[in-house]
């Protein structure tokens, strides 16, 4: 994520996940918490891209983003957890 921020293409990275025990989901990411369906759709429509973290293929977020013309980036990890 540091590389994405360092590129200068992104001013801010946002998440819409549940915070547990006050922990932030990722460093350098502002968590907006759970959103309404309409709020989530508006965020996706205004976003430069959707970065898949966790299990994005299990929910509707990927399809919602693509329907709104928002590119989806899905990092791939090998079995040892290193990016490919």
User: Quick one: pLDDT band at residue 17, thresholds 50, 70, 90?
Assistant: confident
Q: What is the reported pLDDT for 12?
A: 80
The percent of residues in the chain predicted with pLDDT above 90, rounded, is 6
What pTM was computed for the model?
Answer: 0.67
Q: Which of 53-57, 74-78, 80-84 has the highest mean pLDDT?
A: 74-78
Distance CA 26, CA 81 (A): 17
Q: Which residue has the higher pLDDT, 65 or 78?
A: 65
Query: Tokens 């350098």 sit at which residue?
Result: 28
Q: What is the reported pLDDT for 57?
A: 61
């Amino acid at each position: 994520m540091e590389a994405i921020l360092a590129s200068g293409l992104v001013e801010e990275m946002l998440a819409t996940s549940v915070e547990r025990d006050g922990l932030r989901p990722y460093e350098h990411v502002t968590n907006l918490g759970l959103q309404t369906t309409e709020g989530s759709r508006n965020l996706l429509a205004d976003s430069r891209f959707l970065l898949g973290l966790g299990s994005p293929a299990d929910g509707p977020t990927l399809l919602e983003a693509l329907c709104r013309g928002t590119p989806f980036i899905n990092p791939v990890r090998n079995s040892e957890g290193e990016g490919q």
